[in-house]
Amino acid sequence: MTDLQAEHRMLIDGKLVEAASGRTFANVNPATEEVIGQVADGGVEEMEQAVSAARRAFDDTDWSTNRELRARCLQQLKDGLDRHREDLRPQIVAEVGTPIALTYAIQLDSCIDDIQYDIDMIEAYVWERDLPVNEFMGTTSARKVFHEAVGVCGAITPWNFPFMLNLSKIGPALAAGNTVILKPAPDTPWSATAIAKIAAEETDLPPGVLNIVTAGDKAEVGEVLTGDRRVDMVSFTGSSTTGRRIMARGADTLKRVFLELGGKSANIVLDDADFAAVVPTGSMTCMHAGQGCAITTRMLLPASRYDEGVELLEAAFSAFPYGDPTDLSNMMGPLINERQRERVLDYIEKGKAEGARLLVGGGRPEQFPKGYFVEPTLFVDVDPDATIAQEEIFGPVLAVLRYEDDDDAVRIANNSTYGLSGSVASASLDRAMSIARRIRTGTVSVNGGQWFGPDSPFGGYKDSGIGREHGLEGFEEYLETKTIGLPVEA
Ligand code: NAD
């Protein structure tokens, strides 16, 4: 084990600390069910200390105005993470159960590289601008618009892409001049404590600017962030249920909230598409065991070519490579914990009970007696209003729905409380684009195009959230706007 790995301490006010109670909680490898380490079990007391430190660092230091310092610290953080890239890789696989292949992209490598976007933004962003001279109530005025940090930002993250999501909040929040308190998910603490250790030991980040508080499964610790007046903003990624709770609790102190929530995205295959090339990719629903909010979990096939599509999907699901997440050839490992596995198996039972036809999978794989695995699962003939077509399962389960024509496909795609992502495939780019524009979601892939990138705004319509992460829009989530009027001599 290297010096960086298995860091069990939190970062509060510039120091790596244990919980005052001395308590720890277990970090479990979901592929083996083995305890791989212990982590400090922070409580309300530690979270309040972190809030005090972040408040003081924002109010009493020049962090929010010193762009040169911010760029330097973020560069040091990026360089530190880069140096430890190969220490982080096995650790992320061990605690997340993600296929190692994904660490060469979104689970690790691109997250480190993408910090550059936040660093560049400090220089490139238009922090102030002049408006035209204005005549109002007898006064001729010049007007200046300034963008300033929101203040103290609470960041709350889930376990599915923990390292990426931690950095997706820390990066822009710090670049914009905020101070941050991160509360990571209890299932994946090392993806946060590794950042804590590098921040403490390899950067000039002033004490209190970045705090990371780990806690076992106790909502009360995260709720300090949503209820404390000293916290100006909460940036949350996770379930829509928790998102609602965060918004409701934040109402008392009128917190700014950014919410990136669940999804039930539609993959629409039009009747003129190249079925052999497009339809089998529907099995990518099972990538990382379906634990991704933007994964397309409903596939819409045209009635005229429905049977052909189902046959292709059956073959793709039956051959989907899964198992040991450390094996580079696997695209799917286990679910994160036993609770999630039971939740997914319950949905599969509901699917059957409501009349969908189970074609592949549907249970626990016999070949993996250890680990929270569920088989790649394919349901066809799913009613658009069925539970498995409406609710976010967060497991390796695809629901296949039949549609009559393009209007029907759009209607079914939009028949969802969610609106996060989607995809459209057609031989005609115009036809695909016209459907992409009619789907009420924050991102769409057309003919296999990838929308993801550090400069691509990502987020949801409807119950999928409020606000955008990444890109200019994501950066501006962490900014306030101030307008100053000053008289102009005639
Ligand atoms: P969750 O939304 O409950 O937890 C996400 C984070 O919020 C964790 O850090 C958790 O400790 C924290 N949290 C929970 N309750 C809180 C509260 N009241 N105040 C402040 N923080 C709180 O997600 P979960 O229970 O880990 O997973 C349940 C379901 O959520 C999944 O099955 C899936 O459908 C969905 N999910 C969605 C995403 C996503 O990216 N959209 C990610 C993970 C899970």
Residue 4 lies in a domain: no
- 356 in Cβ contact with 378 (< 8 Å): no
From the list 98, 74, 106, 79, the residue with the least C-alpha distance to 458 is 106
State the catalytic residue, choosing from 7, 95, 260, 469: 260
The answer to whether 398 and 365 are in contact (CB under 8 A) is: no
pLDDT at 489: 75
Q: Is residue 3 part of a domain?
A: no
Tell me which residue of 489, 485, 447 sits closest to 142, measured CA to CA: 485
| Residue 185 CB neighbours (<10 A) | 24
Distances (CA, A) of 76 to 140, 151, 200, 354: 47, 22, 11, 54
Q: Are residues 297 and 207 in the same domain?
A: no
* CA dihedral sign of residues 437, 440, 446, 447: negative
With contact defined as beta carbons under 8 Å apart, do 186 and 25 qualify?
Answer: yes
**Do 155 and 81 share a structural domain?**
yes
The DSSP result for 214-225, as a single string, is --SS-HHHHHHH
Q: How many Å lie between the centroid of ligand 1 and the Cα of residue 171?
A: 21
Say how many C-beta atoms besides its own lie within 10 A of residue 316's C-beta.
20
Inside any domain, residue 1 = no
Contact residues for 352 (Cβ-Cβ < 8 A; gap 6+): 358, 362
Q: What is the dihedral of CA 399, 404, 406, 412, to 10 degrees?
A: -40
CB 452 within 8 A of CB 111: no
Question: 440 with 316, same domain?
Answer: yes
Q: Cα(452) to centroid of ligand 1, in Å?
A: 22
- Please tell me whether residues 435 and 302 are part of one structural domain: yes
Q: Is 156 in the pocket of ligand 1 (CB under 6 A)?
A: yes
Residue whose CA is closest, atom 38 of ligand 1? 238
Residue 361: burial class (beta carbons within 10 Å; 0-12, 13-18, 19+): buried
Say whether pTM exceeds 0.85: yes
As a whole number of angstroms, the longest Cα–Cα distance in the chain is 84
Other beta carbons within 10 Å of 3? 10
CATH of the domain at 244: 3.40.605.10
State whether the beta carbon of 477 lies less than 6 angstroms from ligand 1.
Answer: no
* Residue nearest atom 16 of ligand 1, based on CA coordinates: 219
Alpha carbon distance 183, 222 (integer Å): 7
205 shares a domain with 331: no
DSSP string, 262-294: ---EEEEE-TTS-HHHHGGGGGGGGGGGG--TT
Closest approach atom of ligand 1 to CA 159: 43
* Alpha carbon of 238 to ligand 1 centroid (Å): 4
Helix (H, G, I), strand (E, B) or coil at 88: helix
Running along the chain, 490 residues long, what does each successive block of 10 average in pLDDT? Answer: 90 98 97 98 98 98 98 98 97 98 98 98 98 95 98 98 98 98 98 98 98 94 98 97 97 98 98 98 98 98 98 98 98 98 98 98 97 98 98 98 98 98 98 98 97 97 98 98 91
The string of DSSP codes covering 3-20 is SSTT---EEETTEEE--T
Q: Is residue 490 part of a domain?
A: no
- DSSP class of 305: G
Closest atom, ligand 1, to C-alpha of 225: 20
2 found inside a domain: no
Domain that holds residue 423: 265-453
Coil, strand or helix at 475: helix
If you count them, how many residues does the chain have? Answer: 490
Ligand 1 centre to CA of 422 (Å) is 22
149 pairs with which residues across the strands? Answer: 479
Measured distance CA(121)–CA(143) in Å, rounded: 24
Whether 305 is in the pocket of ligand 1, judged by its Cβ within 6 Å, is no
SS3 content of the chain, % helix, strand, coil (to 5): 40, 25, 40
Among 98, 239, 391, the mutation site with the greatest number of ligand 1 atoms within 8 A of its Cβ is: 239
Q: Side chain identity at 474, as an amino acid letter?
A: G
Instruction: Tell me, yes or no, whether 458 lies in a domain.
Output: no
In a domain, 283, yes or no: yes
Enter the DSSP assignment of 107.
T
Please list the residues that pair with 486 across neighbouring strands: 142
What kind and span of H or E run contains 84? none
- For a substitution probing ligand 1, which of 242, 441, 463, 470 has the most ligand atoms within 8 Å of its CB? 242
- The verdict on 180 and 98 lying in the same domain is yes
pLDDT at 4: 86
Does 488 sit in the ligand 1 pocket, CB within 6 Å? no
* Shared-domain flag, residues 193 and 314: no
Respond yes or no: is residue 111 known to be catalytic.
no
Amino acid at 473: E
- If residue 409 lies in a helix (H) or strand (E), which one and from where to where? helix 406-414
Angle at which helix 67-83 crosses helix 115-124, to 10 degrees, equals 160
* Whether residue 82 sits in one domain with residue 201: yes
Whether residues 272 and 195 share a domain: the answer is no
Shared domain for 255 and 269, answered yes or no, is: no
pLDDT (0 to 100) of residue 5? 87
Number of domains in the chain: 2
What is the Å distance from ligand 1's center to 262 Cα? 10
| Nearest Cα residue to atom 15 of ligand 1 | 219
Check: CB of residue 285 under 8 Å from CB of residue 293: no
| Pair of tokens at residue 347 | 């949905």
Residue with tokens 């100006």: 232
Residue 486: how many CB atoms within 10 A of its CB? Answer: 9
CATH number for the domain harbouring residue 380: 3.40.309.10
Ligand 1 atom nearest to 156, measured from its CA: 9
- pLDDT number for residue 490: 62
Residue 5 lies in a domain: no
382, 348 contact by CB (below 8 A): no
Residue 294 · residue 160 · CB < 8 Å: no
Q: Is 222 in the pocket of ligand 1 (CB under 6 A)?
A: yes
Contacts 24+ apart (CB under 8 A), 311-315: 312/275, 312/276, 312/279, 312/280, 313/279, 313/280, 313/282, 313/283, 313/359, 313/378, 313/380, 313/398, 313/400, 314/359, 314/360, 314/378, 315/280
Our answer to whether residue 286 is catalytic in this structure is no
Indicate whether 43 and 83 sit together in one domain.
Answer: yes
How far is it, in rounded angstroms, from Cα 2 to Cα 379?
Answer: 44
Same domain, 473 and 434: no
